[in-house]
Structure 1
């Protein structure tokens, strides 16, 4: 029989095209990523200054209005920056630590007063504070920092033009103090907060730990699948006992994986600020992934491998990028369904935000994932084998 008469051979071109199409979708997020609606805080504490014939002038208000007008000047939902008004410097610090903003601009109380003094014999440079939230995302915080720096640089250039015109009217004379202030009418005080530091894979340490742990979870699930296959179990009670043993052994595996992986990473040179907390969190992550994979294998057998391969291929490009850099479809319908993102979020808090292991959002989701997967795995013992593939794939 000619191989060209086989149905699979004839369908092969279509299969190849479909596979290429599916996996080419994983490249879309990394093709010309553009930020949309990056949350950046802006605080205006400026008290203004009284100017003859003009009344109280508040330059901080003008900066806020110009920044917000520039952001709203693009198509709805497509502005790179989402300006969020905040009441005080203290509130900004709390928001940065809670990962609400990638950066912040704080305009102090004496901003207008110092600007007005630039035309006097005793000029004082105005200052603004820029906070860059490195730990939240190196890519997004760098982009937000660039926008803030460009904003202040633009104001500086405008002020210099106004000062040139003013001194021309005064005969072009300028004191040494005025010349020094003229060089930079507004001084940017830039502070990096929740810094990633050195030996952090450029701020991507949480992502760099994902793939090895994920693959180890899959390997654990596969080995248990074939071990149970070799036992040739037929009784639901026998299957339940084996599945329960699998859960208990999974706890041991999780602790081994968590502590050994943390030790490996530490010895590779990765900065692990909290060894025990990191090891326990990785153990929780491994347990959640291992039980989820085992539950799926117990229901549909080795065919479930396709699900986790797709998770890996689709998840890897997304997990290393801020959500605001992704197309809306990937934000709403792909990223939200990836269980691995909670591992990365939890590690980011441990590594860069000085938080110890706690039942925060990431940990809670992983614990619930482990609990639900355990129930599914145990319940699968009572599902007839014909509904889960072959009898050997238990």
Structure 2
């Protein structure tokens, strides 16, 4: 049969298996994500307390010391948490707002005094505050919050055992107040900071916006590139001008994409977008940078360049929902670090969850740098040899 002589048909099972293999690799980062070195702030403002026959004790300092000792013990680099000691609550909250930490544990000034009161007839339990930075990354923040809660629970258990042992050695009996206080020696208050809210796609609104933005950038770049392929130029000046016009077209598309995407997301989809104009302008910057990058590559190597960005979409999108500390080392160091889409996601996260307006921050600076370099590469493509169309001669956009 002639059908069996077709080589493409004979190799089709291998091609299908290869495609399945390639796209299955996109699942690797999201399978069993394990946190490593999640940065969590710990603040000890405890001023200590004077105890009979013991002098001044500082329970907060002891807690910090124990936590750091445990961290040092995990010298093999597999620790789930990286504890960062911060001098006060204000600095810790600033770090949370800058997305330096996924959570924070606050030990107040009167911690030792309240803890010492548990051994008196009028006990007053100590308190701790756990701050969970939900907007930084919902998955990592929840993991960090659970870890901090477990630490507080362990402290509770340890204090209870120590106080009960002390009473037993002294032959004392517990009063009703003391027994009630010892059920939970350390009261815990959990506060969600930079909350994602109810209409945020479970905290993944930035990723939800980046996906259509990236695809639209590829589509816009290919449409303009396809139209430009029909034109032939008699000299380099005409080709250079066409590249300028190609970039100018991208700027128009960027503004249209920015405002239309925000309008659709807010009014149709129902995503909460507190800063409409800033978000639309930021998306326009993202689109323009991505458009120039894709256009520059396709101008040099043709349609296969767009295919590379399609693959980048499939491999990169799953990483956007994850915190870097929860990725395999290979993806974190060799892929996520330079992924263009992550800067768009980070910028949108600042706008949507951290109440930060549009400014020359890291995401904007990196995106503008990508756009500038891509534009220079696009202009350089005009130096290629251009054949003159026999029918139309020089055509200008």
Question: Considering the TM-score relative to the shorter chain, is it more than 0.5?
Answer: yes
Partner of 1:320: 321
Is residue 37–residue 325 contact of structure 2 (8 Å, CA) maintained in 1? Answer: yes
Is residue 72–residue 79 contact of structure 1 (8 Å, CA) maintained in 2? Answer: no
User: Is the counterpart of residue 283 in structure 1 residue 284 in structure 2?
Assistant: yes
Partner of 1:106: 106
User: Is the counterpart of residue 209 in structure 1 residue 209 in structure 2?
Assistant: yes
CA deviation after TM superposition for structure 1 residue 8, in Å: 4.7
Written as runs of structure 1 = structure 2, the 5 A alignment for 1:231-246 is: 231-233=231-233, 235-246=235-246
Most deviating of 155-164 and 275-284 = 155-164
Partner of 1:228: 228
Is residue 36–residue 325 contact of structure 1 (8 Å, CA) maintained in 2? Answer: yes
Distance 2:288 2:154 in 1: 52
Is residue 232–residue 386 contact of structure 2 (8 Å, CA) maintained in 1? Answer: no
Query: What CA RMSD, in Å, does the superposition of the two structures yield over aligned residues?
Result: 2.0
Distance 1:167 1:317 in 2: 55
Partner of 1:190: 190
Written as runs of structure 1 = structure 2, the 5 A alignment for 1:159-170 is: 159-168=159-168
Measured against aligned partners, the alpha-carbon deviations of 1:259-303 in whole angstroms (never above 9, x if no partner) come to 111111111211111000000000000101111111111111111
Counterparts in 2 of 1:234 and 1:180: CA distance versus 1, 3 Å: farther
Is residue 71–residue 80 contact of structure 1 (8 Å, CA) maintained in 2? Answer: no
CA deviation after TM superposition for structure 1 residue 53, in Å: 3.1
Distance 1:123 1:317 in 2: 51
CA deviation after TM superposition for structure 1 residue 174, in Å: 3.4
Distance 1:195 1:14 in 2: 48
Partner of 1:40: 40
Partner of 2:384: 383
Distance 1:385 1:305 in 2: 22
CA deviation after TM superposition for structure 1 residue 66, in Å: 2.4
**TM-score under structure 1 length normalisation:** 0.92
CA deviation after TM superposition for structure 1 residue 165, in Å: 3.8
Written as runs of structure 1 = structure 2, the 5 A alignment for 1:34-113 is: 34-74=34-74, 76-113=76-113
Is residue 233–residue 386 contact of structure 2 (8 Å, CA) maintained in 1? Answer: no
Gaps of 5+ in 2: 388-397
CA deviation after TM superposition for structure 1 residue 231, in Å: 2.5
Distance 2:237 2:68 in 1: 65
Partner of 1:336: 337
Most deviating of 75-84 and 6-15 = 6-15
SS at match of 1:39: strand
CA deviation after TM superposition for structure 1 residue 122, in Å: 1.2
CA deviation after TM superposition for structure 1 residue 323, in Å: 0.4
Measured against aligned partners, the alpha-carbon deviations of 1:75-128 in whole angstroms (never above 9, x if no partner) come to 522111000111111111111111111111111222111111101011111011
Gaps of 5+ in 1: 387-394
User: Is the counterpart of residue 257 in structure 1 residue 241 in structure 2?
Assistant: no
Distance 1:241 1:38 in 2: 50
Counterparts in 2 of 1:297 and 1:269: CA distance versus 1, 3 Å: same
Is residue 49–residue 56 contact of structure 2 (8 Å, CA) maintained in 1? Answer: yes
Distance 2:72 2:140 in 1: 19
